[in-house]
Structure 1
């Protein structure tokens, strides 16, 4: 008898305020989570905490949401973080020009304390006010 081991597939998470459904495509050209410009890429992470921050800091009035997504094309390391803010890619952050497909929604996730969210949002707002690009496409 031979032991059969299942193949494991990398999971990716996308944090946002958008109300999406299983099967929906998240594609470039929509408003970015931060600021008012159109995104040229869609970003995701295999680190749930990164997706939680994205959901909490995203522009919009609705609740933050986190989706399990799969790429529909090639993905690459997020150049906004990889070897810029961090050595390597410890946040496991990626981007895709073709986008991602929603395969599930993460329910019951634990958010950060409100004072941490407020402090992080103030940093993002200040950077936007000073013209610093939050995401460089």
Structure 2
């Protein structure tokens, strides 16, 4: 369980300098240092829906979920092209202002204990993180089943 006892004040586009990294991004994309992760790309979670924002975190376990779910959805044929189904976590740096991610902050985790953020500006890849915390196959399968249930109910919405 995430500890929200040390939750920083909300990050807004005008007030985010109090949030410090390292910043992390979980994905299945193969990236190299210097690459940009830009808005406008399809979501791993909703492949037909290009995203206005890019998403990132300061928590390794949150980035791990992003990587594992992106890989799991691709392996199940639910995330567009299946050229690579390996989850990866990258250290990134925001190139512009960012704010709390309302998909988790307002809906599920008041106070943002997942330390999830979003930006309309690209993230620059610093390097790949190789020793990120993996979840068990059972945990990933349960999360994928939960996402499938939400999708079936039409509740897999992304506030973007």
TM over 0.5: yes
Which of 14, 17, 23 matches 2:25? 14
How many equivalent pairs are there?
A: 129
1:120 aligns with 2:134: no
TM-score (norm 2): 0.76
Match of 1:84 in 2: 107
Q: Which structure 1 segments of 5+ residues have no match?
A: 1-8
Q: Contact 2:91 / 2:125 at 8 angstroms: preserved in 1?
A: yes
> What stretches of structure 2 of length at least 5 have no aligned partner?
1-19, 76-84
Shift of 1:113: 0.7
- Conserved in 1, the CA contact under 8 Å of 2:147 and 2:156? no
TM-score, normalised relative to structure 1: 0.88
2:86 to 49, 60, 63: 63
Q: 1:93 aligns with which of 116, 137, 143?
A: 116
Does 1:38 find its partner at 2:50? yes
1:29 alignment counterpart: 40
* Displacement over 3 Å in runs of 4+: none
Corresponding residue to 2:60 among 24, 48, 51: 48
After the TM superposition, which of the residue ranges 22-31 and 54-63 deviates more from structure 2? 54-63
CA shift for structure 1 position 78: 0.4
Q: Is the partner of 1:28 in helix, strand or coil?
A: coil
RMSD: 1.3
Q: Find the structure with the greater CA-based Rg.
A: 1
Distance 2:21 2:120 in 1: 18
